[in-house]
């Protein structure tokens, strides 16, 4: 009996070593860099949420060949083709045990590089601190700070892996805050050109918003499904709010916004038909924990009731938003193209909008024409820019463009709005729309065959900065009147650039 049993165990053991188990392969070859439970450490997280945006086949090719000029080396010479395939499939699956990220993990991750109390009160350079551009270079995970008068870089530093959502500025334009895909929030000082503090608030983060009084940062996570409120003084976590809907079901956050005139944050949810508003007005009517949901309070800190979410029930999941300038109304779209207008005061739907395709409200702009307040936004799956009259909530024009675009940009000082066609074969061309006639008046191809996209204007609107989103790519300065190229700077896939003045003053020609 006994020898039989041990023979069976031996057989089992040898079978196991033959058919490689991906978890074991991970432990042997990947864990040192990619961390426990694939949560990331010196290398990025490898959870399904982390890898969502990789192109099909990319996981496989990265494991096989590695990534040039990084620590990620190819494993083709060390692992069999089957093992690499096994690993690639396994990385797409959720771990059996849901990885946690609690307040103690956040606190342990927090790094304070500089004491904010000791920072000088003036910039240490000559450039206009309000005409700086912060350029996010995704190609090698760096950020460049550009003098917007001379178009010269004044700083360049390594960022956390895969920044997204667009950086946000403190109301005085001094600090810039970044959120990374893997949950890092970074605070950078544009006066001393140094990092102030960083903290990891989650394992997968959508974006962040900074309160208009400069006191708070709110980060929205998809893993775990939480909102994390940070004190900007030291980036200390003050409160974690689990995102649960009316029925108690968890939802990922799709975006957080600062509604400055209301002094509140607005939160869009990806899996729940609710819209949340969190007021940071000290005199706001408090909503106590347990009133709407059961919220966990920040550890060891007494948080006033006014920082609790107020819920607007929706009739469907809506996760792409555009606010009117007073933040009284919000236009909201679902992924299938249904769109409606919600009044944030009455917390109810006031109009439906006949939009189809996949409107990209998040990249909308506003402008006035003959006394009408118009809003325009591109469409992610059809070549058009939709113009909506915000006084009547009606579509006044569909401007046809040669292909679906992502970003639409303008400025108070220019009659033109610029849209790309980066989701189409015409990705190398920008289309210039006259805001007075709502017609495409020019086409601009700065670098044929390459992605020309994401325009941002200087604070005076005289120049438009365009990204050539390649690695290596460029940032091209164009005279906004003559459309002549003025200068080109080498950049590694500059996915976005943000002008301090236009962002802080909420220019109607750029998104916020
Ligand atoms: C020596 C450290 C190191 C080891 C060991 C390592 N990696 Fe990586 N890996 C990295 C780094 C650094 C990156 C980020 C590269 C970049 O900047 O794009 C990366 C990126 C990746 C990516 C792309 C992630 C993304 O979001 O773009 C995948 C997939 C990946 N690694 C899988 C693996 C697997 C599977 C193993 C084990 C077989 C492994 N890696 C071992 C350091 C490592």
168 plus 295 within the same structural domain: yes
Are 224 and 157 part of one and the same domain? yes
Q: Which atom of ligand 1 is nearest to the CA of 59?
A: 29
Shared-domain flag, residues 117 and 238: yes
Roughly what angle, to the nearest 10 degrees, separates helices 81-91 and 58-65? 130
Q: What is the pLDDT of residue 56?
A: 84
What is the average pLDDT score of the chain? Answer: 91
For ligand 1, whether the C-beta of 67 sits within 6 Å is yes
**Ligand 1 pocket check for 33: Cβ under 6 Å:** yes
Centroid of chain to Cα 78? 36
Q: Of all protein residues, whose CA lies closest to atom 9 belonging to ligand 1?
A: 72
How far apart CA 421 and CA 423 sit, in angstroms, is 6
CB 386 within 8 A of CB 355: yes
**For a substitution probing ligand 1, which of 47, 55, 61, 62 has the most ligand atoms within 8 Å of its CB?**
62
Determine the distance separating the centroid of ligand 1 and the alpha carbon of 230, expressed in angstroms: 30
Q: How far apart are the first and last CA of the chain?
A: 73
Q: What is the pLDDT of residues 197-235, one digit of tens each?
A: 999 999 999 999 999 999 999 999 999 999 999 999 999
Q: Report the share of the chain in percent with pLDDT over 90.
A: 79
Protein residue with least CA distance to atom 43, ligand 1 = 72
The span from the CA of 416 to the CA of 433, in Å, is 5
* pLDDT one-digit tens code per residue, 166-196: 999 999 999 999 999 999 999 999 999 999 9
DSSP letter assigned to residue 61: H
Asked if 134 contacts 142 with a C-beta cutoff of 8 angstroms, the reply is no
- Say what the pLDDT of residue 284 is: 73
Distance (Å, rounded) from C-alpha 469 to C-alpha 155? 20
- Strands 452-457 and 430-434 come out as unpaired
Q: Does 251 have pLDDT greater than 50?
A: yes
Decide which of 65, 91, 117 is a domain's last residue.
Answer: 91
Which band of pLDDT confidence, cut at 50, 70 and 90, is reported for residue 311?
A: confident
pLDDT digits (tens, 9 = 90+) for 38-71: 999 999 999 999 999 998 899 999 999 999 999 9
Is 37 contained in some domain?
A: yes
Q: Please report, rounded to a whole number, the percentage of residues in the chain having pLDDT higher than 70.
A: 92
Q: Residue 14 above 60 pLDDT?
A: no
For ligand 1, the distance from its centroid to the CA atom of residue 200, given in whole angstroms, is 19
In angstroms, the CA 321 to CA 79 distance is: 46
pLDDT at residue 296 is higher than 50? no
Bridge partner residues of 228 (DSSP): 219, 240
Residue 196 placed within a domain:
yes
Residue 114: CATH number of its domain: 2.140.10.20
Same domain, residue pair 306 and 198: yes
The CA distance from 443 to 475, in Å, is: 18
364 within 8 A of 375, measured Cβ to Cβ: yes
pLDDT computed for residue 301 by the predictor: 39
Helix (H/G/I), strand (E/B), else coil: 295: coil
Vertex 279: Cα angle to 275 and 280 (nearest 5): 145
Residue 404 lies in a domain: no
The answer to whether residue 394 sits within a structural domain is no
303 falls in which pLDDT band (50, 70, 90)?
low
Are 125 and 226 found together in one domain?
A: yes
CB burial of 185-207 (b: ≥16 within 10 Å; e: otherwise) equals bbbbbbbbbebbbbbbbbbbbbb
Question: What is the distance between the alpha carbons of residues 100 and 87, in angstroms, rounded to a whole number?
Answer: 22
As a whole number of angstroms, the distance between CA 165 and CA 153 comes to 22
Which residues lie across from 434 on neighbouring strands? 416, 439
The answer on 167 and 49 residing in a single domain is no
Q: Is 155 exposed, middle or buried (0-12, 13-18, 19+ CB in 10 A)?
A: middle
Measure the CA–CA gap between 444 and 420, rounded to whole angstroms. 10
Split at pLDDT 50, 70, 90, the class of 354 is confident
Total structural domains in the chain? 2
Specify the ligand 1 atom closest to the Cα of 51.
Answer: 26
CATH of the domain at 41: 1.10.760.10
Within a domain: 412 = no
Residue 322, pLDDT above cutoff 70: yes
Asked if 184 and 296 sit in the same domain, the reply is yes
* Alpha-carbon torsion (475, 476, 479, 481), positive or negative: negative
Residue nearest (by alpha carbon) to ligand 1 atom 42: 72
Predicted structure pTM score: 0.93
Instruction: Give the residue among 195, 229, 211, 200 at the shortest CA–CA distance from 116.
Output: 195
Pairing of strands 329-333, 320-323: antiparallel
Q: Report yes or no on 115 lying in a domain.
A: yes
pLDDT tens sequence across 378-395 = 999 899 999 999 999 999
Mean pLDDT for 362-373 is: 92
**Does residue 460 lie within any of the structural domains?**
no
Residues 42 and 174 occupy one common structural domain = no
Residues 79-105: tens digit of each pLDDT:
999 999 999 999 999 999 989 999 999
What is the residue range of 57's domain? 2-91
Looking at residue 7, what is its pLDDT?
58
- Considering the domain architecture, whether residues 62 and 184 belong to the same structural domain is answered as no
Task: Give the residue ranges of DSSP H helices in 44-122.
Answer: 48-51, 58-65, 81-91, 103-109
Whether 87 lines ligand 1, by a CB cut-off of 6 Å, is: yes
Ligand 1 centroid–CA 116 distance in Å is: 35
**44 ligand 1 Cβ < 6 A:** yes
> In angstroms, what is the span from residue 475 Cα to ligand 1's centroid?
28
Quickly state the pLDDT bin for 293 (edges 50, 70, 90): very low
Is 418 part of any domain? Answer: no
Q: How confident is the model at residue 512 (pLDDT cuts 50, 70, 90)?
A: confident
Which atom from ligand 1 is nearest to the alpha carbon of 181? 26
Indicate whether 71 and 112 sit together in one domain: no
DSSP annotation of 508 reads T
Shared domain check, 261 and 240: yes
Q: Is the pLDDT at 299 greater than 60, yes or no?
A: no
Do 252 and 199 share a structural domain?
A: yes
Structural element, H or E, at residue 476: strand 473-479
Of ligand 1's listed atoms, the one at least distance from the Cα of 25 is: 38
Q: How far is the CA of 223 from the centre of ligand 1 (A)?
A: 20
How many whole angstroms separate alpha carbon 431 and alpha carbon 428? 10
Residue 155 CB less than 6 A away from ligand 1 = no
Q: Find the mean pLDDT for residues 129-149.
A: 97
């Amino acid at each position: 009996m006994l020898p039989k049993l041990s023979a069976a165990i031996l057989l089992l053991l040898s079978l196991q070593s033959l058919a490689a188990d991906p978890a074991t392969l991970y432990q042997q070859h990947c864990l040192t860099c990619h961390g426990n439970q694939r949560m990331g450490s010196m290398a990025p997280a490898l959870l399904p949420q982390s890898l969502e945006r990789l192109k099909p086949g990319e996981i496989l090719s990265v494991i096989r060949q590695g990534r040039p000029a990084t620590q990620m080396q190819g494993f083709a010479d060390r692992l069999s083709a089957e093992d690499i395939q096994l690993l690639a499939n396994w990385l797409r699956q959720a771990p059996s045990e849901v990885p946690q990220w609690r307040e103690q993990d956040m606190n342990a991750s927090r790094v304070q590089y500089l004491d904010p109390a000791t920072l000088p009160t003036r910039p240490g350079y000559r450039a206009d601190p309000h005409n700086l551009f912060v350029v996010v270079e995704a190609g090698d995970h760096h950020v460049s700070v550009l003098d917007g008068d001379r178009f010269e870089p004044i700083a360049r530093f390594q960022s956390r892996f895969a920044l997204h959502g667009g950086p946000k500025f403190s109301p005085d334009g001094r600090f810039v805050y970044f959120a990374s895909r893997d949950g890092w929030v970074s605070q950078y000082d544009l006066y001393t050109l140094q990092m102030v503090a960083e903290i990891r608030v989650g394992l997968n983060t959508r974006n962040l918003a900074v309160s208009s009084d400069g006191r708070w940062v709110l980060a929205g996570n998809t893993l775990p499904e939480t909102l994390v409120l940070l004190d900007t003084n030291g980036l200390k976590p003050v409160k974690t709010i689990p995102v649960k809907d009316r029925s108690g079901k968890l939802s990922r956050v799709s975006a957080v916004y600062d509604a400055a005139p209301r002094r509140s944050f607005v939160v869009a949810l990806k899996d729940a038909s609710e819209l949340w508003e969190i007021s940071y007005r000290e005199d706001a009517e408090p909503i106590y924990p347990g009133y709407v949901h059961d919220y966990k309070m920040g550890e060891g800190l007494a948080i006033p009731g006014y920082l609790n979410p107020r819920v607007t029930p929706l009739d469907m999941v809506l996760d792409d938003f555009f606010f009117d300038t007073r933040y009284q109304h919000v236009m909201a779209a679902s992924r299938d193209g249904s769109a409606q207008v919600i009044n944030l005061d009455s917390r109810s739907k006031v109009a439906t909008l006949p939009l189809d395709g996949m409107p990209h409200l998040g990249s909308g702009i506003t402008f006035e024409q003959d006394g009408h307040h118009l809003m325009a936004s591109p469409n992610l799956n059809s070549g058009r820019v939709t113009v909506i009259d915000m006084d009547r909530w009606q579509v006044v024009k569909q401007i046809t463009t040669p292909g679906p675009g992502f970003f639409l940009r303008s400025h108070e000082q220019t009659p033109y709005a610029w849209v790309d066609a980066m989701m189409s074969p015409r990705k190398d061309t920008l289309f210039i729309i006259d805001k007075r006639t709502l017609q495409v008046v020019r086409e601009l191809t700065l670098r044929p065959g390459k992605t020309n996209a994401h325009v941002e204007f200087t604070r005076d609107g005289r120049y438009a900065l365009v990204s050539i989103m390649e690695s290596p790519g460029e940032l091209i300065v164009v005279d906004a009147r003559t459309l002549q190229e003025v200068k080109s700077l080498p950049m590694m896939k500059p996915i976005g650039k943000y002008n301090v003045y236009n962002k802080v003053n909420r220019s109607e020609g750029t998104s916020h």
